[in-house]
A and B are shown apart, each in its own frame.
Chain A
Amino acid sequence: MKEINELNFPEDVRYSESHEWVKAAGETAKLGITDYAQDQLGDIVFVELPDVGESFEKGAEYGTVESVKAVSELYMPVSGEIVAVNDALEDSPEWVNNTPYSDGWMIEIKLDDPSEPDSLMDKDAYVSTLKG
């Protein structure tokens, strides 16, 4: 596992305590897991994602991510309805490890409240929680 300063945390996304990132664009947002989360999990071998059209409250489990010997739940950092899922992860789960903020995105949602992402942490706040 890497040290915190070896990990990548972009400025243009918001972060949750459960290590998800959210990148909002108007009424929709893309989200995935952070570089810290993928590093903790190790080699990702499978990602289970919900169906388009399903709705989840903030804090609800929307899927799972698997390494060889562990399964971790994915939690909604904000509330919304699924409008797209990253089907490509089915064949290329390693993208979550390699490029967690771009090709490794997981779902796109229509935000119940477009301002909700603002309530999440920015980069500095998130990094300071990791350094604890």
Chain B
Amino acid sequence: MRYFPHTPEDITEMLNTVGVKSLEDLFGTIPVDCRRTSDLNLPQALTEWELNHHIDELCGSMAVSPEYKVFMGAGSYEHYIPVSLNHLLSRSEFVTSYTPYQPEMSQGTLQAIFEYQTLTARLLGMEVANASQYDGASALAEAALMAVRISRRKKVAVSRLVHPHYRRVLKTYLAPTDNEIIELPYLPDGTTDLSSLDALDDLAAVVVQSPNFFGCIENLKVIGDKTRAEKTLFVVGFSEPLAYGLMKNPGSQGADIACGEGQSLGIPRSFGGPALGMFATRMPYVRNMPGRLVGQTKDVDGKRGFVLTLATREQHIRRERATSNICTNHSLCALASAMYMSSLGGSGIKTLARLNYDKSEYLKGALRKAGFSIPFKQSTFNEFVVRFKDGFEKTYERLTAEKIIAGLPLECYYPELPNHYLLCVTETISKQDMDELVQKIK
């Protein structure tokens, strides 16, 4: 095995030093009745070349672009990723290092995370961001738990237009607690119905997503103004943060916590993970925040350097009273997004976000012209809901056979919306692709 450097002579010599006769003898403290009686039953080991072949075969059955035209977003977005990112992200010093517990030997990771925290805070308009979490769903669940801790209240109001997958993770996280989830319905224009929110007295948080699951931009300011004077925290989730290159960010609209999925910022979709849980809040709440934080300081020579800080919130110190059980962050994914954000820059992200918007508006218009209805009138970013004609499944299947995925059917998440599909258009979809889609649907 090429990963084991031991020669038979090394093994003999080392066993002699230890004072045992064989490798098996090293395990003498394991009682006999705790041992396996048979060898592991696993496939025969493959050579590097056989493995390549095997994996290529498995990949062959996967439907991916550019072979397929995938008009599906719904929390997982196709964006162009500069090859410079792949190159930089494959540097061993980033990939094969551990959590930066020894700061002198980890300044690269630490500065990079400090920069990630800063870019994230700027993107979301918040004061402080953590070093990242698993994904948008768990970030949202942790935000709800944080709001419960801060407000010492037990009810969390959650919009039905928060990604259905995020909502079910939230439900799972809250199940063993005595906290309660209240669902906020949606209005005919595709935004959250806030009419039941007049009394906030006992609410820990109001949770919405913007752009929401229908792609619509929520009227965040209305909610922000309502919660500002109250103890209720305003949590804004997201699954497509590129939208904030064009639309107002959550912080400017009064969010107390902004959290969500950062996959669209330079991370491949990878069948849903690893992804990037982005999490930001306001400074007064920082000690209640889950997750790792990097802070700036100085070394003994007075030079600027970075360390993990405010660690007393975390499980390795506060144990059962920690703000979360999270130990990791998705460091490499955070790094990818920081590289992506810095490659785009302030000018580039505006241009790219606008292009996403314009392209999706183009498709929206073309579908409308072709006679399909766009049921929700609220502005969208790069995805939107279309109502196709009855029996569209047949057309959808035909298109799939032609390697076009015409969005996500919404009925399984919203039974009241048969024939409604969520379509997404990013910069990777050309006008020609869109024209072809409309042509083939007609």
Contacts and interface: CB of A to CB of B under 8 A. Distances in A.
Tell me if chains A and B make direct contact, with any CB pair below 8 A: yes
B103 to A, nearest CB: 12
A46 interface: yes
Interface residues of A: mostly helix, strand, loop or mixed?
A: strand
A68 B311 contact: yes
A131 interface: no
A44 B311 CA distance: 13
A66 interface: yes
A71 B317 contact: yes
Interface residues of B, number: 6
Interface in B304-319: 311-312, 317-318
16 contacts: A45-B312, A46-B287, A46-B312, A48-B287, A66-B312, A68-B311, A68-B312, A69-B311, A69-B312, A69-B317, A70-B312, A70-B317, A71-B312, A71-B317, A71-B318, A71-B321
A48 B312 CA distance: 12
Interface string A23-49: 000000000000000000000011010
B364 to A, nearest CB: 51
Contacts of B317: 69-71
Contacts of A48: 287
Interface string B388-427: 0000000000000000000000000000000000000000
B324 to A, nearest CB: 15
Contacts of A68: 311-312
Contacts of A46: 287, 312
A67 to B, nearest CB: 8
A17 to B, nearest CB: 23
Interface centre among B312, B318, B321 (most CB of A within 10 A): B312
Contacts of A71: 312, 317-318, 321
A129 B187 CA distance: 69
Contacts of A69: 311-312, 317
Those 6 A-B pairs whose CB atoms lie nearest each other, nearest first: A66-B312, A71-B312, A71-B318, A69-B317, A71-B317, A69-B311
Interface string B304-348: 000000011000011001000000000000000000000000000
A70 B317 CA distance: 6
Interface string B285-311: 001000000000000000000000001
A66 B317 CA distance: 10
Nearest to B309: A68
Contacts of B311: 68-69
Contacts of A66: 312
A71 B287 CA distance: 13
Nearest to A73: B321
Given A45-B312, A68-B311, A69-B317, 5 more contacts: A66-B312, A68-B312, A70-B312, A71-B312, A71-B318
Contacts of A45: 312
A63 to B, nearest CB: 13
B278 to A, nearest CB: 25
A51 to B, nearest CB: 12
Interface in B84-135: none
A66 B287 CA distance: 12
A48 B311 CA distance: 15
Contacts of B287: 46, 48
A130 B321 CA distance: 29
Nearest to A67: B312
B300 to A, nearest CB: 15
Contacts of B321: 71
Interface string A50-75: 00000000000000001011110000
Interface string A85-123: 000000000000000000000000000000000000000
A48 B323 CA distance: 15
A69 B316 CA distance: 9
A70 B311 CA distance: 9
A71 B317 CA distance: 7
B135 to A, nearest CB: 29
A69 B321 CA distance: 14
Contacts of A70: 312, 317
A123 B440 CA distance: 90
A12 B317 CA distance: 35
A93 B317 CA distance: 19
Interface string B195-234: 0000000000000000000000000000000000000000
B330 to A, nearest CB: 24
Interface centre among A46, A66, A69 (most CB of B within 10 A): A66
A69 B311 CA distance: 7
Nearest to A66: B312
Contacts of B312: 45-46, 66, 68-71
B56 to A, nearest CB: 48
Nearest to B318: A71
A66 B314 CA distance: 12
Nearest to B319: A71
A82 to B, nearest CB: 17
A34 B317 CA distance: 23
A53 to B, nearest CB: 15
Nearest to B307: A68
A69 B101 CA distance: 12
